[in-house]
Amino acid sequence: MRYVAAYMLAVLGGLENPKNADIEKILSSVGIEADGERLTKVVKELNGKSIEELIASGREKLSSMPVGGGAAAAPAAAGGDAGGKKEEAKKEEKKEESE
């Protein structure tokens, strides 16, 4: 995904057919080290395609993904007795100090 985004940024920046070095420069500017094999594959697959084509293709892929939500998380249990334990611990500390 990073490589595709960097490729699209390069095209938006005025490069019709960005090269590996162009994509590496964009990625390194934000601290990402590019993998040469992946980068070469992405550049080969995207070379010559317009941004509009890439966006349309991405939308098709996203529309086919399931988007069903998972089960909702159970609410947290009420913590009614937590305060009592703290008070007991303080009392024990005071007893130890006084002895």
Q: For the segment 16-56, what is each residue's pLDDT rounded down to a tens digit?
A: 889 999 999 999 999 999 899 999 998 998 888 888 888 88
Write down the architecture of domain 2-63 according to CATH: Orthogonal Bundle (1.10)
User: Token pair 């947290």 is at which residue?
Assistant: 76
Check: pTM over 0.85? Answer yes or no.
Answer: no
Is residue 10 exposed (0-12), middle (13-18) or buried (19+ Cβ within 10 Å)? Answer: buried
> What residue segments make up the domains of the chain, in order of their start?
2-63
